[in-house]
């Protein structure tokens, strides 16, 4: 079975790939700016916002007394939806709040300014606390006070105010811009939280004049809260808005194309079923509009061609009726007066004339059904009495089982619907055999009525199902003189129901048998 993919799905996937490419390029830009890992979140504007927030929090905490400092942190934490920890670098490593942090967070904290030697604790060494003013290199106290050294990072500031990286000639780890800014993001703890660390200047009133910077750590409970804290939430919402606007921008074009193609598909299917009066709205001014105009011209020419052909067949059949009637009468008289030796030959001629008469009558019925006016008058019909009348005319009342609700009504033209049902019942009796059961059932599905004729005959070859209803077409198994028929019965059925605004469906039953369904409007 060949798998089909709707055009709307293909265009949607192509749009999604386009948006994913844009997202990948955006992510690549941020990776180039800040690298891979969680630290990339604090490498750009988000880190600057965290630094500004941390400076404000640390400033108020430094101005407060030691007893009120925790209240300041709690107040700011409630305002930002996080939990703040303020770590002074000259405190013992086991002192609170450093002991409350996960090991992964303590490993990222640098408890010393980068211009001081290998002192400190945590992942960098096992020394004690910073030595305060005495721990600074000669002359650094003056430079710190005058602003030549940045208190938050310990880096030199040149004459233009630009921060200079520390002297790497003294050894130590490679220069890391994020680490030198004193910022990091770590995902750790149980339950898992996001820890944001920012180095801040801190000068508490109870300590000496020269103090090393501190570290403000914020514990954030969720990724969404982390993005909000770093002001990345607005970027994420902006990206989502761009995605939604892009989809909304494409939707009118996509829906217009798919709607036009759906109309063309439905129209061509109706034309393939022989409804040549079908037309497509040709209001578009593009290739699909031109295709619709071509379909309309094709349907018009086919309608004219088929109508002319049916009219010709009807005229020929009508002209043949009179000579055939006279020929039937003459062969009947000849059969009565012929000598005994010629009666068998005359009987054969009479049978051939009868076959010709049957063919002409079916041609007349076919052309009459096919040339019905488009606006044929449809009436509300109670289906059970109509089906009983058809069975009585076909002398099939004893063979057929009825399963039609008494209150089932449909919209159709009585003569056309009766002719279609008569042909289906006649075919079922002919091909099902003497003992095979035949069932005529009816039901309502939504706004339509379905009348089905089922038999337990041999059915038809699967490849012939689509061609049933074509004029003069018969499956090879049916081309026998004993079964009769000229291939117009189902064509008459299809034409009659089409004139009533309905359709016909044919299918083989399992394990054997054949089903024909008439579908038309319910009343």
CATH code of the domain covering residue 362: 1.10.287.130
Judge if 404 and 500 occupy the same domain: yes
Residue 279 lies in a domain: no
Burial of 197-211, coded b for 16+ CB within 10 Å and e otherwise, reads: bbbbbbbbeeeeebb
Tell me how long the chain is.
Answer: 523
**Domain count across the chain:** 4
Residue 172: per-residue pLDDT: 45
Judge if 127 and 154 occupy the same domain: yes
pLDDT top residue among 389 and 201? 389
Q: What is the H or E stretch that residue 85 is in?
A: strand 83-88
Judge if 40 and 106 occupy the same domain: yes
Residue 330 lies in a domain: yes
- Write the DSSP string, 493-519: HHHHHHHTT-EEEEEE-SSS-EEEEEE
Residue 283: per-residue pLDDT: 80
Judge if 196 and 116 occupy the same domain: yes
Average confidence (pLDDT) over 507-515: 90
Which CATH number fits the domain that encloses residue 395? 3.30.565.10
Per-residue pLDDT tens for 388-411?
A: 999 998 888 888 999 999 999 999
Per-residue pLDDT tens for 36-93?
A: 677 778 877 778 888 888 999 988 988 888 888 889 999 999 998 999 998 876 666 5
CA angle 411, 412, 417 (to 5 degrees): 140
- Please check the confidence at residue 521 and state whether its pLDDT lies above 90: yes
Q: At what angle do helices 414-432 and 489-499 cross, to 10 degrees?
A: 150
Judge if 78 and 191 occupy the same domain: yes
Residue 67: per-residue pLDDT: 84
Residue 426 lies in a domain: yes
Residue 292 lies in a domain: no
Per-residue pLDDT tens for 369-394?
A: 665 555 678 899 999 999 999 999 88
- Out of 231, 250, 277, a domain closes at 231
Residue 412: per-residue pLDDT: 92
Residue 84 lies in a domain: yes
Per-residue pLDDT tens for 120-174?
A: 333 333 333 333 333 344 444 444 444 444 544 444 544 444 444 444 344 444 4
Residue 285 lies in a domain: no
Per-residue pLDDT tens for 466-504?
A: 888 877 777 755 444 445 556 778 888 888 888 888 989
Judge if 352 and 412 occupy the same domain: no
| Domain region containing 364 | 304-370
Judge if 444 and 473 occupy the same domain: yes
Judge if 83 and 224 occupy the same domain: yes
**Lowest mean pLDDT across 32-36, 145-149, 420-424:** 145-149
Average confidence (pLDDT) over 206-221: 76
Does the pTM of the predicted model rise above 0.85? no
Instruction: Specify whether the CB–CB gap between 120 and 106 falls below 8 A.
Output: no
- Out of 370, 399, 428, a domain closes at 370
Residue 29: per-residue pLDDT: 59
Residue 281 lies in a domain: no
Judge if 134 and 186 occupy the same domain: yes
Judge if 84 and 127 occupy the same domain: yes
- Out of 350, 370, 390, a domain closes at 370
Which residues contact residue 137 at a Cβ distance below 8 angstroms, ignoring those fewer than 6 apart?
115, 116
Considering the chain, what is the average pLDDT of its residues?
76
Residue 237 lies in a domain: no
Q: Is the peptide bond before 136 cis (omega within 30 degrees of 0)?
A: no
Parallel/antiparallel/unpaired status of strands 400-403 and 438-445: parallel
Judge if 345 and 480 occupy the same domain: no
Judge if 487 and 403 occupy the same domain: yes
């Amino acid at each position: 079975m060949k798998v089909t993919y709707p055009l709307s799905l293909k265009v949607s996937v192509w749009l999604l790939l386009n948006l994913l490419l844009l997202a990948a390029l955006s992510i690549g830009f941020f990776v180039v700016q800040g690298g891979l890992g969680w630290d990339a979140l604090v490498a750009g504007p988000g880190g600057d916002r965290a630094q500004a927030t941390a400076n404000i929090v640390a400033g108020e905490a430094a101005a407060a007394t030691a007893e009120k400092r925790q209240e300041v942190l709690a107040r700011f934490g409630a305002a930002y939806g996080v939990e703040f920890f303020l770590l002074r670098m000259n405190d013992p490593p086991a002192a609170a709040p450093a002991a409350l942090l996960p090991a992964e967070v303590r490993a990222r904290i640098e408890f010393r300014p980068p211009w001081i030697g290998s002192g400190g604790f945590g992942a960098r060494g096992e020394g004690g606390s910073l030595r305060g003013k005495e721990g600074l290199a000669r002359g650094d106290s003056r430079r710190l006070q005058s602003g030549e050294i940045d208190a938050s990072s310990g880096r030199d500031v040149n004459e233009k105010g630009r921060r200079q990286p520390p002297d790497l000639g003294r050894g130590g780890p490679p220069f890391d811009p994020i680490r030198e800014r004193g910022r990091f993001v770590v995902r750790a703890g149980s339950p898992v939280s996001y820890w944001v660390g920012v180095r801040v200047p801190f000068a508490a009133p109870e300590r000496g004049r020269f103090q090393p910077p501190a570290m403000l750590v914020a514990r954030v409970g969720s990724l969404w809260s982390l993005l909000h804290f770093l002001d990345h939430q607005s970027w994420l919402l902006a990206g989502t808005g761009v995605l939604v606007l892009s989809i909304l921008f494409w939707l009118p074009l996509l829906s217009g194309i798919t709607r036009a193609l759906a109309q063309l598909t439905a129209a061509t299917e109706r034309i393939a079923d022989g409804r040549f009066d079908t037309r497509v709205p040709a209001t578009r001014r593009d290739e699909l509009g031109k295709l619709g105009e071509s379909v309309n011209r094709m349907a018009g020419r086919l309608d004219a061609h088929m109508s002319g052909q049916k009219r010709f067949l009807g005229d020929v059949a009508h002209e043949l009726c009179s000579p055939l009637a006279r020929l039937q009468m003459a062969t009947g008289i000849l059969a009565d007066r012929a000598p005994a030796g010629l009666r068998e030959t005359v009987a054969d001629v009479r049978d051939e004339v009868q076959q010709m008469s049957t063919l002409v009558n079916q041609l007349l019925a076919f052309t009459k059904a096919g040339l019905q006016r488009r606006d044929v008058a449809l009436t509300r019909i109670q289906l059970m009495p109509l089906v009983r009348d058809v069975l009585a005319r076909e002398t099939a009342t004893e063979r057929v089982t009825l399963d039609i609700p008494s209150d089932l009504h449909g919209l159709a033209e009585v003569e056309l619907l009766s002719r279609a049902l008569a042909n289906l019942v006649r075919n079922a009796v002919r091909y099902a055999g003497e003992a095979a059961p035949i069932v005529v059932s009816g039901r309502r599905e939504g706004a339509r009525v379905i009348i089905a004729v089922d038999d337990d005959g041999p059915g038809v070859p699967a490849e012939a199902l689509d061609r049933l209803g074509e004029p003069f077409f018969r499956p090879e198994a049916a081309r026998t003189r004993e079964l009769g028929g000229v291939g117009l019965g189902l064509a008459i059925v299809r034409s009659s129901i089409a004139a009533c605004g309905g359709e016909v469906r044919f299918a083989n039953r399992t394990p054997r048998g054949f089903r024909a369904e008439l579908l038309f409007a319910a009343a």
